[in-house]
Structure 1
Amino acid sequence: MAEQDTFAPIVQLRGISKVFRQKHQSVNALNGIDLTIRRGDFAVIAGPSGSGKTTLLNIVGLLDTATSGQLSFCNRALAQASLAELARIRRDEIGFVFQAYNLMPVLSAAENTEMVMEFQGRPAAERRKVSQEVLSQLGLKALMHRFPDQLSGGQQQRVAVARAIASRPKLVIADEPTANLDSKSARNLMDLMVRLNEEEGITFVFSSHDPQVIGRGKRVISLHDGMIVADNAAEQVHAFA
């Protein structure tokens, strides 16, 4: 990662609010969020259930739209972006790691890892080469031809990480990535994500309510009732300045 790119903004949110309208009431999930995710961040969004963690992640990852406020991605304002452009950004520039893994059961670990690259239209030979390299990097070389039901939960989540990073996105979003893992697998996954952040420069934003997972975050963004109540981003930037 080039030195001049360190701390360059990837996602910027200004005055973001999200209201879910139900039959007889409205629920304010986010209230006036100001947030900048920068290149090289290893940020955890923390807070109790109902604090807005998943809603915020979905907006940062362009999986949902805000009711009000402004959002930009790599200094591109997205207020007037078409659905096709948003889909392209999600496909090419953001990787996703879901709590439930979301692997295709009829595809092998290698084929699951290749999925995003296939959607991008990359040649088959390139996809195979990259998937083998990434799975080897994540300690899954011997398992690349196994199907999801032949893998443990921790191994499936590693495949999900491999799929997320194979196309080298600018940002990886992970919603409660350790929630379905035992404590050992959770530690191993966090070790892996830290290593990818430090050695590969991959930017991570993930959510958790687990104090042990939150403790691994280099930046902790605390939510309560849809508002950011604490964010150590200033201390992080100052430490590296």
Structure 2
Amino acid sequence: MAIAHWTIFADNESDKDFLFKQLLEARELPHGFAALQGMQGGLLSPSEIDRYIEEEERHDHKILTRGKKQHLQTMSSGERKKALLNHLLKQPLDYLILDNPLDNLDVSSRADLLQLLEGLANKISLIQLVNRWEDSLPFRSTFYLLRKNQLSPIEDPITLLKQEHSRQFIQPVPQPLEPIPLSTPLLVSFKQVSVSYGEKPVLHEISWELKSGEYWQLSGPNGSGKTTLLSLITGESPKAYGQDITLFGKKKGSGESVWDIKEKLGYFTPAMTDRFSGYHSLENMLISGLYDSIGLYVKPSPAEQRLAQDWIAFLGMEALGKRYFHELSPGQQRLIMCVRAMIKHPPLLILDEPTTGLDDSSAAMVVDLVNRMAEASKCCIVFVSHRKEPGLKPQYTLVLKPDIAGSKGAIEVN
């Protein structure tokens, strides 16, 4: 008898935790999943990994990394998922639920995990929930669509795959209140920059220049040094001192302050979203980007309020203007955070994995937004991603390629 598998496509507003509870407790199984009645299941998900990380950090109780020196917190995304999978496979499971198993993995890590899961599919039932169509595992499945907490069967998933995403942002990009002065169009210059941590080399002889108006993608596998490279620009790494690095016309270590850099830099990474858990209006969220503050602690001027409203209109969110930031969907929050980083039109805008964890529709809107901002401004934009996003239109790509001496940089013209 063939082993049954299920593939569930979900958006970012779907209540997947409710679904996982239904499946694992098997009290009220959804229609179409009766075959799981009386079976033992397991869950491979980021929330489970977070639970084990917390157990290690709070109680020094190593479960997934028992017998190893390395802590779960210091592992890459792919290593963490493999550790949890190995732990689950030591149990007598009849089926396994996979929560976006390939998300946030580079090409090599995806291939490794995919090989493990394809072998597992010959032994037990797999239920995969994915937000991105390209992340669905390539074995025969029964297909479902999850919206909120409603699960519906899909007879022809190819129809959904072919749905076209129309461009969302056609209004003029709002201009800054006043331009930020620059002494040179050369914003960043790295010459033969190498970085090591202890005996571990991370970057090797990286040479890279960023100029006004350029549009870049920074890519490379997990652990290739993308975060380290960015920290040399943002001022968060002491490793920048003693290197041949010039930022906004000033040699690194020549007396520049962190605020000198922040004035000319816009930055966003999804982890920043958690800092805005209070009651922040959309207008105040955007205006806080002018002050580089977490929250707004000054009374905004009428001009600042008009600018924020112009951006809200640009995003098509006028109807959401009275809501608080934490009430928005993950996709809407991501758009607001990208605009918050852009609102002053910084000479350099860095967007670090802005589409990670998003469904296809939300990711496509972020890509459209970034493309539009690149077209209509003089900002130099750096889009950081381990995956090639459909529709992204960078002029250049810096690819970090791991090497025993540290990752080397290869520049591609798109």
* TM-score bracket for this pair, using the shorter chain length: 0.7 to 0.9
Q: Which amino acid aligns with 2:248?
A: C
Q: Structure 2 CA distance, aligned partners of 1:188 and 1:216?
A: 13
Q: Which of 245, 251, 267 is residue 77 of structure 1 equivalent to?
A: 251
Measured against aligned partners, the alpha-carbon deviations of 1:208-227 in whole angstroms (never above 9, x if no partner) come to 11123596332111101243
Q: 2:410 aligned with 1:230, yes or no?
A: yes
Q: 2:240 aligned with 1:89, yes or no?
A: no
Q: Structure 1 CA distance, aligned partners of 2:317 and 2:234?
A: 27
SS where residue 188 of structure 1 aligns? helix
Q: Which residue of 1 aligns with 2:228?
A: 55
Q: Is the 8 A contact 1:109 1:144 kept in 2?
A: yes
Summarize the Cα distance change of 1:214–1:72 in structure 2 as closer, same or farther, 3 Å threshold.
Answer: farther
Summarize the Cα distance change of 1:152–1:101 in structure 2 as closer, same or farther, 3 Å threshold.
Answer: farther
Farther-moved stretch of structure 1 (177-186 vs 215-224): 215-224
Summarize the Cα distance change of 1:228–1:143 in structure 2 as closer, same or farther, 3 Å threshold.
Answer: farther
Q: Which residue of 1 aligns with 2:324?
A: 147
Q: How many residues align?
A: 223
Q: How does 1:97-136 map to 2 (within 5 A)?
A: 97-102=268-273, 104-106=276-278, 107-118=280-291, 123-136=300-313
Runs (5+) with no aligned partner, structure 2: 1-174, 176-181
Higher relative contact order, chain-length normalized (CA < 8 Å, sep 6+): 1
Return the offset for 1:27: 2.3
Q: Structure 2 CA distance, aligned partners of 1:218 and 1:192?
A: 16
Summarize the Cα distance change of 1:56–1:133 in structure 2 as closer, same or farther, 3 Å threshold.
Answer: same
- Using structure 1 for the length normalisation, give the TM-score: 0.82
Return the offset for 1:148: 2.6
Query: Cα RMSD between the aligned structures?
Result: 2.6
Query: Which structure dedicates a bigger proportion of its chain to strand?
Result: 1
Q: Structure 1 CA distance, aligned partners of 2:353 and 2:253?
A: 28
Q: Is the 8 A contact 1:54 1:207 kept in 2?
A: no
- Using structure 2 for the length normalisation, give the TM-score: 0.49
Q: Which amino acid aligns with 1:114?
A: I
Summarize the Cα distance change of 1:188–1:123 in structure 2 as closer, same or farther, 3 Å threshold.
Answer: closer
Runs of 4+ displaced beyond 4 Å: 119-123
Q: 2:218 aligned with 1:45, yes or no?
A: yes
SS where residue 63 of structure 1 aligns? coil
Summarize the Cα distance change of 1:74–1:19 in structure 2 as closer, same or farther, 3 Å threshold.
Answer: same
Q: Structure 1 CA distance, aligned partners of 2:214 and 2:319?
A: 31
Structure ID, larger Rg: 2
Return the offset for 1:123: 5.0
Runs (5+) with no aligned partner, structure 1: 237-241
Q: Structure 1 CA distance, aligned partners of 2:321 and 2:268?
A: 18
Return the offset for 1:19: 2.2
Query: Which structure dedicates a bigger proportion of its chain to helix?
Result: 1
Q: Is the 8 A contact 2:331 2:362 kept in 1?
A: yes
